[in-house]
Structure 1
Amino acid sequence: MRWIWLFALLASFQLSAQEWQLRDTCPPSFLLTEDNRCELKTLYQFYTSTQGKGLGGTQTELPPHRDGFTPQQIDLGRHLFFDPLLSGDQQLSCASCHLPEKGFSDGKALSDGANNLQTTRSSPTLWNSAFVTRFFWDARAQSLEEQAVGPLFAENEMDNTPERLLASLNQNSVYKQWFAQAFGESNGITLDQIASALTAFQTSLISLNSRYDQYVHGNHNALNENEIAGMNVYRSFVARCSECHMPPLFTNNQIAVIGTPEPEGMPLDVGAETTFNAPKLKGGFKVPTLRNIAKTAPYMHSGRFATLREAVEFYTLGRGHAVPEGVEMQIHWHIWEPNLTDEEIDRIVDFLHALTDETFTPAVPAVLPSGLTPINNQQTAAIKGENQ
């Protein structure tokens, strides 16, 4: 009997050794090069036209993007992203606020952080981060690496310290082995490597295969009559949605002052005014992508609107109608009074649902080197309950 128990124990060790392997293949939509790099490949790369972007043009090329990470770096970042070991109390992971099931947001107006605190803004989606040039709602980070480490050390987010984070990872034999494998160095894990691995994973989150994309690439049966009607309103000179939310990314990577109202009882968030020390940007925030927008309610920087229809309707209620009395804002010139009908608003909402694409949603790791649960059990249970 003792030998049977010992054999089972050895078998479990062998299984564990097999589990602790980083992938040597690229995520879907990426091609592995001869020098072990993952290069993004999409049908949009065959388009060279930049004309019509501001008018809602369809077959236009994508802007520059980041790729070229190794499969091992991407997979290491995937495990780190879901590992609560990165937080100070080991109760939160990056995925706590960026859940795959919620379009890599979290379904809350303000996210729950450490110390029973809340963040001050809604969690934005991470889809297509490889194409983004500035990060956070107020555009204060200029790289994915800078964005990746910010929440780790924020008191109201993951509340870790650089020293504690490095100690936790360097004391873990699997992570030490993985970092050495991913970065070719064995002198210990560094903060730059952590940021680079998280960046590698985020650049692999590609969503460019929605029914809208299939329509663009020639399948005109991919959208129904209402969605096509909505797309035409969206692209029109009346609604002017596409002038800021430009295809194919459905953002222009710029900052816009639109005068979104704050939730009841919350003070005015000046946004990018602080980042750039520019009064003209008071109340200015990044133009978010609309891809997978149907999955990321509530909407705006503070989750002010519960539904897509409320968010769309905001733009037709009058220029600057929600700006607090006595506050001066330089509302973006694209924001005007299109006086859309209820039917036109409904059709735009129909079209926005056609931008959903979760084809390449990465798998949540079954196990983590830390031994911790990949995603908070309460969040997972809540999501399952909502989807039943």
Structure 2
Amino acid sequence: MMRQREIIIAVGIFMVLLVSKSHAAEPGISLREYCPPGFELSDQNKCLSRNLYQLYRSPQKAGLGGLKIDLPKARDGFSPQQIDLGRYLFFDPVLSGDGTLSCASCHDPDQGFSDGKGRSDGHNGEKLTRSAPTLWNVAYLKKFYWDGRADTLEEQMQGPLYAENEMANTPENLLENLNDIPVYRDLFQQAFPENRQEDITLADIYQALAAFESSLISLNSRYDRYAHGYHDALTDQEKEGLNIFRSFVARCAECHTPPLFTNQQIAVIGTPEVEGMPRDVGAEAVLDDPDFRGGFKVPTLRNIARTAPYMHSGRFKTLRETVEFYTKGRGHALGKDEKLILHWHIWEPNLADHELDRLVDFLHTLTDEVFTPQVPERVPSQSQAQHKSHINREETP
């Protein structure tokens, strides 16, 4: 009996040690073979966007505030592996020159894929000139940056990647660093098997990041449920706010057109800059047209309650302060010497305080983060760093 008990205890200790060792060991990283929520996997291993707005046939420009309006064509058709590879890259600081910043540093999922700052922090903590816009629903956008100077996500991402005051990397250094990480070489082979090449390429890096960013879909807010026919999804106050939003007096929906809540156009609205900052000329520099001096892309209002502060420079701290700007009168925030051609919608709606409050109530109904992707517990560069550190310790005499 004693012998049997000793054997049981010994086996128990062995199992504890085995489990402890398995928990201490680093699990391998592999790419998902299924699509993110909101996508359907095709027979060709492509993730295709699926949502209720695809049932409607009224174009966005026909609605100007209507409920059952379809969306622009989404960018989709990436493989599950490409999307998941992009997820690892997005959260990996190896993409920056000194290994301290990732895409998520300025586009944090806990901050509505913005960063909660009026002006983002770049390389060595340098303050940038503009705020980080949300990435929710970028699959539907045709122009990128506040001034609309990029036509694709791939073109846009090269700006922060290689800007000296942002992620401060170079294409050569980026390729060298990623190709030096065996885990990434394996993951890129999984995501791009048709290429069958040894080295990771810039085109594959950009495509993987674009695949992940295009998967960030937010279309299941309480507003959406109301738009699809569930009238109890909004309170009476929120419905009042929606009616004000859609009204010809406030005219919010003419620029922030549902269901995307942007018309994707450039508008000059004359918001004041942060104190001490010069006028940001915006799209004037891109279009070489003085008529667009101070013009910026109309941002989506999706998850707007999660992305304070507001405007291109983070000038307004709250939604209440932001909506109040629009009712104070045409050009009221401009200096005497300012020469801006304001958008014709920026007039004097003279909304009452309670109407502004109802607008804010409605804007909160646009919050939907149920498809927020999982942040990786660790990224491939961390595994590589730990591996090198272990080797160095073993080689130390």
Q: What is the TM-score with the length of structure 2 in the denominator?
A: 0.90
**2 CA distance for matches of 1:173 and 1:9?**
26
> Alignment partner of 1:370: what SS?
helix
Tell me how far 1:116 sits from its aligned partner: 2.8
**1 CA distance for matches of 2:253 and 2:109?**
26
> Alignment partner of 1:45: what SS?
helix
Match of 2:172 in 1: 163
- State the Cα deviation string for residues 56-112 of structure 1 (Å, max 9, x = none): 001011012200000000000001000011111111110000110110001000111
Tell me how far 1:323 sits from its aligned partner: 1.9
AA aligned to 1:278 is D
**1 CA distance for matches of 2:237 and 2:271?**
28
**1 CA distance for matches of 2:311 and 2:65?**
22
Match of 1:238 in 2: 249
Tell me how far 1:326 sits from its aligned partner: 1.6
> Alignment partner of 1:285: what SS?
strand
Compared with structure 1, are the counterparts of its residues 152 and 213 closer, same or farther at alpha carbon in structure 2 (3 Å cutoff)? same
Counterparts of 1:320-331 in structure 2 under 5 Å?
320-331=331-342
**Structure 1 residue 289 corresponds to structure 2 residue 303:** no
AA aligned to 1:277 is D
> Alignment partner of 2:27: what SS?
helix
> Alignment partner of 2:381: what SS?
coil
State the identity %: 62
Tell me how far 1:191 sits from its aligned partner: 1.1
**Structure 1 residue 215 corresponds to structure 2 residue 226:** yes
Matching residue within 361, 368, 373 for 2:372: 361
Match of 1:381 in 2: none
**2 CA distance for matches of 1:194 and 1:150?**
14
Matching residue within 239, 248, 251 for 1:228: 239
**1 CA distance for matches of 2:149 and 2:374?**
30
| Conservation of the 8 A alpha-carbon contact between 1:120 and 1:302 | yes
| Conservation of the 8 A alpha-carbon contact between 1:231 and 1:351 | yes
Match of 1:386 in 2: none
Matching residue within 15, 34, 55 for 2:64: 55
Tell me how far 1:336 sits from its aligned partner: 0.6
> Alignment partner of 2:33: what SS?
coil
**1 CA distance for matches of 2:324 and 2:160?**
32
Match of 1:21 in 2: 30
**Structure 1 residue 85 corresponds to structure 2 residue 94:** yes
| Conservation of the 8 A alpha-carbon contact between 2:39 and 2:47 | yes
> Alignment partner of 2:32: what SS?
coil
- State the Cα deviation string for residues 226-260 of structure 1 (Å, max 9, x = none): 10000000000000000000000000011000001
**2 CA distance for matches of 1:15 and 1:310?**
49
**Structure 1 residue 121 corresponds to structure 2 residue 150:** no
Match of 2:117 in 1: 108
Pick the structure with greater CA Rg: 2
Match of 2:388 in 1: none
Match of 2:352 in 1: 341
Match of 2:43 in 1: 34
Tell me how far 1:322 sits from its aligned partner: 1.3
AA aligned to 1:90 is G
Tell me how far 1:367 sits from its aligned partner: 1.3
Match of 1:312 in 2: 323
Compared with structure 1, are the counterparts of its residues 176 and 13 closer, same or farther at alpha carbon in structure 2 (3 Å cutoff)? farther
**Structure 1 residue 71 corresponds to structure 2 residue 93:** no
**2 CA distance for matches of 1:84 and 1:254?**
33
| Conservation of the 8 A alpha-carbon contact between 1:319 and 1:337 | yes
| Conservation of the 8 A alpha-carbon contact between 2:63 and 2:69 | no
Match of 1:275 in 2: 286
> Alignment partner of 1:256: what SS?
strand
**Structure 1 residue 257 corresponds to structure 2 residue 273:** no
**2 CA distance for matches of 1:189 and 1:301?**
35
**1 CA distance for matches of 2:355 and 2:16?**
68
| Conservation of the 8 A alpha-carbon contact between 2:123 and 2:167 | yes
AA aligned to 1:27 is P
- State the Cα deviation string for residues 189-236 of structure 1 (Å, max 9, x = none): 111111111100000000000000000111111000110000000000
Unaligned runs of 5+ in 2: 1-9, 385-397
Q: What is the TM-score with the length of structure 1 in the denominator?
A: 0.92
Tell me how far 1:4 sits from its aligned partner: 9.4
**1 CA distance for matches of 2:383 and 2:238?**
43
**2 CA distance for matches of 1:14 and 1:23?**
21
| Conservation of the 8 A alpha-carbon contact between 1:118 and 1:157 | no
- State the Cα deviation string for residues 343-364 of structure 1 (Å, max 9, x = none): 0000000000000000100000
- State the Cα deviation string for residues 259-316 of structure 1 (Å, max 9, x = none): 0100100000000000111110000000000000000000000000000011100001
Higher mean C-alpha displacement, 107-116 vs 122-131 = 107-116
Matching residue within 187, 203, 224 for 2:214: 203
**2 CA distance for matches of 1:64 and 1:327?**
38
Tell me how far 1:55 sits from its aligned partner: 2.8
| Conservation of the 8 A alpha-carbon contact between 1:97 and 1:105 | yes
- State the Cα deviation string for residues 105-125 of structure 1 (Å, max 9, x = none): 010001111123111100000
AA aligned to 1:39 is L
Match of 1:383 in 2: none
RMSD: 2.0
AA aligned to 1:354 is T
Higher mean C-alpha displacement, 3-12 vs 291-300 = 3-12
Compared with structure 1, are the counterparts of its residues 62 and 114 closer, same or farther at alpha carbon in structure 2 (3 Å cutoff)? same
| Conservation of the 8 A alpha-carbon contact between 2:120 and 2:127 | yes
